[in-house]
Amino acid sequence: MNITENITTPVVGEYDVIVVGGGTAGSVAGIASAREGARTLVIERENYLGGMWTGGLVNPVFDHRGKDGILAELIKEHKRLGSWGGFINSCFSYENMKRILEDKLLEAGGEVLFGATFSRLIMEGKRAVGVVVECRGGRRAYLAKEIIDCTGDAEAVASAGFPFEIGRESDHLCQAITLMFTIGNVEFMQNTCNDLREMVEEALKSEDNGYRLPYSRPYIIQIPDSRTAVVQLTHMRGYDPLSPEDMSKALIEGRKQAYEVVEFLKKRVERFRDIELLETAPLLGIRESRRIVGEYTLTKEDCIEGHRFDDEVTTAAFGIDIHNPLDDSQQCYSVKRYGIPLRCLIPKGSEGLFVAGRSISGTSEAMASYRVTGNCAAMGEYIGRYAARLAAGSPRGRSQGL
Ligand SMILES: Cc1cc2nc3c(=O)[nH]c(=O)nc-3n(C[C@H](O)[C@H](O)[C@H](O)COP(=O)(O)OP(=O)(O)OC[C@H]3O[C@@H](n4cnc5c(N)ncnc54)[C@H](O)[C@@H]3O)c2cc1C
C-alpha cells in the first residue's frame, strides 16, 4: 500500500552551499566552504559534528600523514589541548573533536542545523537546487546554489534518482559492520594491541568455554587519555546497510557482542580484570553502503599501481582492507600512493551536486582503501572550497577543479 501525501513545505533558508551530513568529510567541507566566504549550512542528523570520528568512536586517524590544510589544523589544535597521541600517535579525544570542528565551522561563519534529517533533494531538471529536511518543527526546505552530499550513504544522490552501486560486484554484499566501544581502567603497556591478541588466543585455548570472538583480529586502541581504550572487536555480518530493520538488529547484536566481549576479557585475561565498559558507540560503524556512479570510477588497480590524475583532490596510501561480509576472513592489499580525481566526486549527469567521503565513485575494493578518515576529510576540504567558488560565480567548469 502506498500513501500519497500532498504537503506544502516552507522554504526557510537560502544558502550558497549546503553540506548534507556533518561527519568526517562534511564537517571539513563546511569549514572550507565557509572560509571562502560562502553562506554555508551543514545539515546533520545527530547532535554533533564529526560522524564516525565522534559518534562512531573511530580512532586513529589513518592517512593523515603528508596532508596539510584543515586536517593538519585539527591535529594541531588537538595537540594544543593535549588530546592527541595514543595508538600509533594518531588518536584524539572524541569530545575535543566535536568542539574543535564546531568552533572552526562557526568561526568561519558557517551554520549548522543539528537533529535535522535530510529526506530529499529539490531538483530543477538535472540541477539540485535545495534540500528537504525533517527536524524539530516539522518538514522544511532550504535552497542552495551548490549541494555536497557527505552522508556516507549517498542519501542525496540516491534521493534524486542518480545511479549508485552497492557492495561487492559479485553479490552486492557489504563489508562487516562494527559497533565500536570504549573501556576504562586499561593498563597499557607497549604493544597492547598485539599483546591483546596473544592473550585472547591463550584464554580461548585454555578453557573449554565454547565462546567464540566475533572477530579474530581485534584492536584495542589507546586514546590520549591513557587509561581509556576504544575496541574494534564486534562484527555483524550479512546485514543490509540500507534496511532500517537490519540496522536495528545489527545495533542490538553489536551491543550484545560488546557486553559479552568485556565480560570475557574481565574473566579470562588477567591484565583486563578491572576494565569496565564505558560506552558503546552512538553510531553504528558501517564500512560500506552506496557508492555513487561518478564521472570516473576509481579501481583496485588504480590503488595498487599508484595511479595519479591531473584533477586529483587528494592522495591516499592506506592499504585495501576488506572485512568479509559473511565470515571472519579479511583481504588486505598494499597500495602505492594514488590520487583521487575530482571526477569521482561528481555524480554522473548531475548539476549543482557533489559528493565527498566514503560514498564517492569507486569500486568496492578501492573504497576499502580511501574510506579512512584522513582521506574523507581531505576530500571534504577540497570540495567545500570548490563548491563555494562555483557558487560565487567562478568561471571554472564543474570538472575543472580549483
Ligand atoms: C568500524 C569502523 C572502524 C573504522 N576505523 C577507522 C580507523 O581506525 N581510522 C580511520 O581513519 N578510518 C576508520 N574507518 C573508516 C572511516 O571512519 C569512515 O569511512 C569515514 O569516517 C567515512 O566518512 P564520511 O564523511 O563519508 O561519513 P561519516 O563520518 O559517517 O559522516 C556521515 C554523516 O552524515 C550524517 N547523515 C547521514 N545521513 C543523514 C541524513 N539523512 N540527514 C542528515 N545527516 C545524515 C551522519 O550522521 C554523519 O554525521 C572505520 C570505519 C568503521 C565503520
Specify the residue with its C-alpha closest to ligand 1, atom 27: 152
Q: Which residue's CA lies nearest to atom 45 of ligand 1? A: 21
Residues 350-377 have a mean pLDDT of: 98
Q: Is the Cβ–Cβ distance between 401 and 156 less than 8 Å?
A: no
By CB atoms closer than 10 A (0-12, 13-18, 19+), residue 319 is middle
Ligand 1 centroid to residue 59 C-alpha, Å: 12
pLDDT in tens, 67-123: 999 999 999 999 999 999 988 999 999 999 999 999 999 999 999 999 999 999 999
**Cα dihedral angle (362, 365, 366, 368), rounded to 10 degrees?**
110
- pLDDT tens-digit series, residues 132-184: 999 999 999 999 999 999 999 999 999 999 999 999 999 999 999 999 999 99
Alpha carbon nearest to ligand 1 atom 3, residue: 58
Q: What is the pLDDT of residue 190?
A: 62
Contact 375, 318 (CB under 8 A): yes
Q: Which three cell numbers stand for residue 5?
A: 501525501
Establish whether residue 345 lines the binding site of ligand 1, counting it when its CB lies within 6 angstroms of any ligand atom.
no
Q: Are 334 and 305 in contact (CB under 8 A)?
A: no
21 close to ligand 1 (CB < 6 Angstrom): yes
User: The whole model's pTM is what?
Assistant: 0.97
Distance of CA 371 from the midpoint of ligand 1 (Å): 9
For residue 207, what pLDDT is reported? 62
Residue 150 beta carbon below 6 angstroms from any ligand 1 atom: yes
The structural domains of the chain, ordered by start, are 11-170+287-391 (3.50.50.60), 181-280 (no CATH)
Q: Look up residue 255 and give its DSSP letter.
A: H
Whether 288 is in the pocket of ligand 1, judged by its Cβ within 6 Å, is: no
pLDDT band per the 50, 70, 90 thresholds, residue 188: confident
373 lines ligand 1 (CB under 6 A): yes
How many angstroms does the Cα of residue 56 sit away from the middle of ligand 1?
7
- CB 23 near ligand 1, within 6 Å: yes
User: Residue 330's pLDDT is what?
Assistant: 95
**Beta strands 138-149 and 353-355, pairing class:** parallel
Give distance in angstroms: CA of 152 to centre of ligand 1: 6
pLDDT at 79: 97
Q: pLDDT tens across 56-79, in order?
A: 999 999 999 999 999 999 999 999
